Amino acid sequence: MLATTQNWWWPYVMIAVAGWIATDMWRWIGVFASGKMSETSQIFIWVRAVATALIAGIIARLILFPSGELAETPMWLRILAAAWGAFSYKVAREHLMVGIVSAEVVLISGWFILL
């Protein structure tokens, strides 16, 4: 009993270390490799395409199959907010924060109106 009460912190240390190594290792490899890589190289174009596809998949999943509080909003509101965010992004000369904030404003204000 004494051994388990003294080592309660060990799983948290392992989670932190494993999480740090799993994410930061790839970031550092990317930092070192990107200095020697051309932006027009085939590998760089492929990595950018995969990253874009992952983000698009996450956004589509959030819109089509949300969880938590987002699931309480109607799908048409989620689609409208995403479309408005994309439109605002293009109108603002591809300024990312404008697109994100405008989509959030549409989603949150629409949700409050429907309550």
Q: What is the pTM of this model?
A: 0.66
pLDDT at 105: 97
> Can you tell me whether residue 86 is helix, strand or coil?
helix
- Is residue 113 scored above 80 in pLDDT? yes
- Is residue 73 scored above 80 in pLDDT? yes
Angle at 39 between CA 36 and CA 42, to 5 degrees: 95
Cα–Cα distance measured from residue 84 to residue 99, given in angstroms and rounded to the nearest whole number: 8
